[in-house]
Amino acid sequence: MEKANLDWKNLSFGYITTDKRYVANFKDGKWGEGSLTDDPNITLNECAGILQYCQEVFEGLKAYEQEDGSIVTFRPDLNASRMMDSAKRMEMPSFPAERFIEAVEEVVRANAKWVPPYGTGATLYLRPYMFATNPVIGVKPATEYQFRLFGTPVGPYFKNGVKPITICVSDFDRAAPRGTGFIKAGLNYAMSLHANVTAHANGYDENMFLDPATRTYVEETGGANFIFITKDGELVTPKSNSILPSVTRRSLLVVAKDYLGMKVTERPVKFSELKDFAECGICGTAAVICPVGKVVSHDETVCFPSGMEKMGPVTQKLYDLLTGIQYGTVDAPEGWIHKIM
Ligand SMILES: *Cc1c(COP(=O)(O)O)cnc(C)c1O
């Protein structure tokens, strides 16, 4: 396969226009037939629901080239069903899971030359999303929507590779207790930008958000879930109704349990417990796992024993296994690898 002429090893996590994207429209109570288009631009009415009241949900997954040249995606069924859950909470129509998978396949096939070569560390990031298109001025759900899916080649999310990062406890909250924290909607990101910019301006890589009701429990960062490793090798991950159910986190729990024989616990995690953990990482599709070396609050600084130089040993094992599964060098659990070509 002839590949696009890109410097694959030095790609950033940015947008590059690829050849084809998938579009389908919802009108008169049903989804129309979707198709691929060359046009990366969207023309919308000035009063479109997305522009006025932010009715939008999205997903993120990757296409990987494996050693033998095949191109696969990782658990796209979970992205499809999560997008249906997100749409429901936003009073939007569901985009059927089987059509979601078809759209993923069509976009990957049509953009195969943009799927980064095996061994470069880069991947084709896929962004499915859906938004309100018809004019809405009185506050109510729109009646017309567009589903789109494009791909863009990306390098590793964190430029300093897998070096541990320093995060701060945010003075802002991410998601209300009975709000929209558990769905993947752009609105959760819009309101976290100020917290992000503030954290970066203060010299931190990311925010740790606490539960807004009591500010005693750990929730997540703006776009990644936490995992902790205890000193006796147990994996602990926060449980809360306002955390986004990360596909990466759910997969790491299975890998820890079934591949490493670890004890795995999902439970509320108090900020005050952090000092007892041996390792900490944040996980999501973009970065897989990024190790956390230090967490800073107004009152204290927690330094994990794994240090600031490299990933903790257990985190590293989890990272190697999960990326091995994604790139086909480690046997995957049934149904995790969806081969496209
Ligand atoms: C997308 C996202 C994650 C990571 O989920 P993955 O399915 O692993 O990519 C975590 N937190 C938030 C808020 C997210 O939007």
- Asked if residues 294 and 304 have their Cβ atoms less than 8 Å apart, the reply is yes
Tell the residue nearest (CA) to atom 10 of ligand 1: 224
Q: Residue 78: which of 239, 240, 246, 225 has the closest Cα?
A: 246
Name the residue with higher pLDDT: 157 or 110: 110
pLDDT confidence band for 162 (50 / 70 / 90): confident
Backbone angles phi, psi at 272, to 5 degrees: -65, -15
pTM for this model (two decimals): 0.97
240-288 pLDDT tens trace: 999 999 999 999 999 999 999 999 999 999 999 999 999 999 999 998 9
What is the C-alpha radius of gyration for the chain, rounded to an integer number of angstroms? 20
248 lines ligand 1 (CB under 6 A): yes
Q: Is 184 a catalytic residue?
A: yes
Mean pLDDT calculated for residue range 174-194? 97
Residue reference for tokens 């050693």: 67
Confidence bin at 132 (pLDDT 50/70/90): very high
- Name 52's Cβ contacts closer than 8 Å, sequence gap at least 6: 136, 137
244 close to ligand 1 (CB < 6 Angstrom): yes
User: Are 205 and 162 in contact, with CB atoms under 8 Å apart?
Assistant: no
Whether the CB of 196 sits within 6 Å of ligand 1 = no
CA of 132 to the centre of ligand 1 (A): 22
| Ligand 1 centroid, distance to 304 Cα (angstroms) | 23
Cβ count near 339 (within 10 Å): 11
CA of 284 to the centre of ligand 1 (A): 5
60 Cα nearest atom in ligand 1:
9
Catalytic residue among 9, 184, 270, 339: 184
Phi, psi of 48 (to 5 degrees): -50, 140
d(CA 197, CA 44): 29
pLDDT in tens, 57-112: 999 999 999 999 999 999 999 999 999 999 999 999 999 999 999 999 999 999 99
What letter does residue 14 receive in the DSSP assignment? -
**Ligand 1 pocket check for 86: Cβ under 6 Å:** no
Span 167-193, average pLDDT: 97
Q: Is the pLDDT of residue 15 over 80?
A: yes
